[in-house]
């Protein structure tokens, strides 16, 4: 008889633990808009009074007693279970082990999975159903919880004053944002912005930087007129100044400094020499490529800097990153009057595709309806280099599953391939098995008629930097000058 009573006590304690866990989780995840609607719909019920008190900011009156109830009930359930097993099993050590097994197999799934899931998914309904036991527990245990609160304040006053109620971990907050977005409590773009904050905290700046090969630089010997022309043609306002190579970053030249120096020179007596870019440049900020993006954003915001040079583990220049790059990771792309969007691929008149070497291999596969997967590379340019076994040059060509890729354009001092041509030719075995088809080896005749032909604008002109921008204070020879350096600062 004693064993049955003890077992019944264990079951009742477990049920009380479940009730407390459901209610406590419901208060933690309670949406205010749903709670307000429930109060307006049933204003005279006990559940409405509990919800209204929570909306008024007094949720601790319920969460603290519930937390204490859950701890006491869980301890009682464990002790009652152990007492039953000690009476049934002669070996006490075995009884203790069985108690731990039962707690692990029963207590964890019920309390931490089912109960919390129910309170999290149906918070308003859970509070309304459990309003009566929640109210009674609050009245019964409020003296004890009040005493414990005062004791905690005396033991750790600073921590107790700052301790938040209902703290979310990152996973729970992400789930809460998804639910709020699905319920249209917040806009999708607002939820995405908060999600971007979490993602950015784990993002390294190497994934956001402008690669070294795409950096717009000026050499230390660049005349100020040519530097100004390069600024105006590209649309950039800051430009690294290099020495003998891109690994030797001397500083950063600002457009406003160069413009101010040129205007002051135009007002100076004749014969005054123009300042050099080395004299006008500012010190460069260097950062390791493994640094967290969020940390760099905070530092650049605090120090009012807008550009940083990224170095690799060997001390060489890996690229650069701007404050705009970091902000775009949070809020999305920011376009200004100098940004010119170009499609990563276009359909030519002959049926072939003209595409950037930075196009992802997944997108290339989608164009031709083929599944391309390579763990070593991400871009079509990388795929070309891998299959060639060497650095590609203009004219290099490969074929993968009938997809032909040919290098047709390069840029920079190293003549790095940046423009490709792609088309599809069925392999010979497919041509022989095709019924009623005539084999042909020309790219134009074998290229598929894709639906993208109707929506893509044919653009056969190579990418170029921004057009010259007229400036009222500059003579025409600067606004229209063609500097003797390319986009990488090479003369």
Q: Please give the average per-residue pLDDT across 413-441, as a whole number.
A: 67
Which residue, among 12, 11, 15, 7, has the nearest Cα to 114 in the 3D structure? 15
- Maximum Cα–Cα distance across the chain: 113
Q: Please give the average per-residue pLDDT across 234-254, as a whole number.
A: 90
The reported pLDDT for the residue numbered 29 is 79
Domains of the chain: residue spans and CATH: 2-167 (no CATH), 205-339 (3.10.580.10), 345-454 (3.30.465.10)
Q: Which residue has the higher pLDDT, 480 or 351?
A: 351
Give the angle 209-278-323 at the CA atoms, nearest 5°: 25
The reported pLDDT for the residue numbered 430 is 61
The reported pLDDT for the residue numbered 213 is 79
Q: Which residue has the higher pLDDT, 424 or 1?
A: 424
**pLDDT band of 157, cuts 50, 70, 90:** low
The reported pLDDT for the residue numbered 444 is 42
Confidence check: pLDDT of 140 > 70: yes
Q: How far apart are CA 124 and CA 38, in angstroms?
A: 8
**pLDDT band of 40, cuts 50, 70, 90:** confident
Give the angle 480-484-485 at the CA atoms, nearest 5°: 105
Residue 207: CB partners within 8 Å, gap ≥ 6?
Answer: none
Write phi, then psi, for 204 (nearest 5 degrees). Answer: -90, 150
The reported pLDDT for the residue numbered 342 is 61
- Whether the CB-CB separation of 383 and 374 falls below 8 Å is answered with yes
Q: Which residue has the higher pLDDT, 235 or 327?
A: 327
The reported pLDDT for the residue numbered 354 is 92
The reported pLDDT for the residue numbered 200 is 82
**pLDDT band of 440, cuts 50, 70, 90:** very low
Q: Please give the average per-residue pLDDT across 143-162, as a whole number.
A: 68
Confidence check: pLDDT of 343 > 50: yes
Per-residue pLDDT of 11-25, as tens digits, reads: 888 888 888 888 888
**SS3 string of the chain?**
CHHHHHHHHHHHHHHHHHHHHHHHHHHHCCCHHHHHHHHHHCCCCHHHHHHHHHHCCCCHHHHHHHHHHHHHHHHHHHHHHHHHHHHHCCCHHHHHHHHHHHHHHHHHHHHHHHHHHHHHHCHHHHHHHCHHHHHHHHHHHHHHHHHHHHHHHHHCHHHHHHCCCCCCCHHHHHHHHHHHHHCCCCCHHHHHHHHHHHHHHCCEHHHCCEEHHHCCCEECCCCHHHHHHHHHHHCCCEEEEECCCCCCEEEEEEHHHHHHHHHHHHCCCCCCCCCCHHHHCECCCEEECCCEHHHHHHHHHHHCCCEEEEECCCCCEEEEEEHHHHHHHHHCCCCCCCCCCCCCEEECCCCCEEEECCCEHHHHHHHHCCCCCCCCCCEHHHHHHHHHCCCCCCCCEEEECCEEEEEEEEECCCCEEEEEEEEECCCHHHHHHCCCCCCCCCHHHHCCCCHHHHCCCCCCCCCCCCCCCCCCCCCHHHHCCCCCCCCCCCC
The reported pLDDT for the residue numbered 183 is 66
423 pairs with which residues across the strands?
404
The reported pLDDT for the residue numbered 278 is 92
Lowest mean pLDDT among 88-97, 174-183, 197-206, 309-318: 174-183
Which residue, among 293, 290, 286, has the nearest Cα to 330 in the 3D structure? 293
If you search the block for the tokens 């912005």, which residue do you land on? 193
Could you tell me what percent of the chain has a pLDDT over 90? 15
**pLDDT band of 50, cuts 50, 70, 90:** confident
Confidence check: pLDDT of 367 > 80: yes
Per-residue pLDDT of 374-404, as tens digits, reads: 878 888 988 998 888 887 888 889 998 889 9
Confidence check: pLDDT of 420 > 80: yes
Lowest mean pLDDT among 148-152, 161-165, 302-306, 379-383: 161-165
Sign of torsion over alpha carbons 23, 25, 28, 31: negative
Q: Please give the average per-residue pLDDT across 57-74, as a whole number.
A: 83
Average pLDDT, the chain: 77
């Amino acid at each position: 008889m004693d064993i049955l009573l003890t077992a019944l006590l264990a079951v009742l304690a477990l049920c009380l633990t479940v009730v407390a866990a459901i209610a406590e989780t419901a208060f933690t995840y309670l949406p205010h808009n749903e709670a307000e609607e429930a109060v307006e719909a049933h204003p005279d019920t006990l559940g409405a009074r509990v919800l209204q008190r929570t909306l008024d900011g007094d949720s601790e009156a319920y969460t603290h007693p519930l937390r204490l109830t859950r701890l006491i009930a869980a301890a009682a359930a464990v002790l009652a279970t152990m007492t039953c097993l000690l009476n049934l099993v002669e070996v006490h050590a075995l009884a203790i082990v069985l108690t731990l097994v039962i707690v692990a197999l029963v207590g964890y799934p019920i309390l931490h999975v089912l109960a919390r899931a129910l309170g999290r998914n149906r918070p308003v309904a859970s509070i309304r159903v459990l309003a009566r036991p929640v109210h009674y527990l609050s009245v019964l245990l409020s003296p004890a919880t009040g005493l414990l609160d005062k004791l905690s304040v005396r033991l750790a006053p600073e921590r107790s004053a700052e301790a938040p109620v209902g703290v979310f971990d990152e996973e729970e907050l992400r789930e809460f944002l998804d639910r709020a977005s699905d319920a249209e409590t917040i806009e999708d773009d607002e939820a995405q912005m908060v999600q971007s904050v979490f993602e950015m905290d784990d993002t390294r700046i190497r994934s956001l930087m402008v690669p070294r090969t795409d950096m717009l630089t000026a050499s230390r010997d660049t005349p100020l007129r040519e530097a100004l022309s390069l600024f105006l043609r590209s649309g950039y306002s800051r430009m690294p100044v290099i020495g003998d190579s891109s690994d030797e970053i001397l500083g950063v030249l600002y457009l406003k400094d160069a413009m101010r120096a040129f205007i002051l020179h135009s007002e100076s007596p004749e014969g005054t020499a123009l300042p050099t870019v080395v004299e006008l440049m500012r010190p460069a900020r260097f950062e390791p490529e493994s640094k967290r993006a969020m940390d760099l954003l905070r530092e650049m915001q605090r120090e009012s800097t807008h550009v940083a040079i990224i170095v690799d583990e060997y001390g060489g220049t890996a690229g650069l990153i701007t404050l705009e790059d970091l902000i775009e990771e949070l809020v999305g792309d920011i376009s200004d009057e100098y940004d010119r969007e170009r499609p990563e691929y276009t359909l030519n008149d002959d049926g072939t595709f003209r595409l950037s070497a930075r196009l992802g291999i997944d997108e290339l596969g989608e164009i031709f309806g083929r599944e391309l997967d390579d763990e070593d590379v991400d871009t079509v340019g990388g795929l070309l280099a891998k299959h060639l076994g060497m650095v590609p040059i203009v004219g290099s060509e490969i074929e993968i599953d009938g997809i032909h890729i040919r290098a047709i354009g390069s840029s920079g001092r190293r003549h790095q391939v940046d423009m490709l041509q792609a088309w599809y030719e069925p392999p010979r075995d497919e041509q022989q098995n095709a019924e009623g088809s005539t084999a042909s080896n020309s790219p134009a005749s074998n290229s598929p008629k894709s639906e993208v032909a109707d929506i893509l604008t044919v653009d056969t002109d190579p990418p170029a930097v921004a057009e010259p921008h007229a400036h009222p204070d500059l003579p025409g020879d600067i606004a229209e000058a063609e500097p003797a350096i390319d986009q990488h600062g090479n003369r």
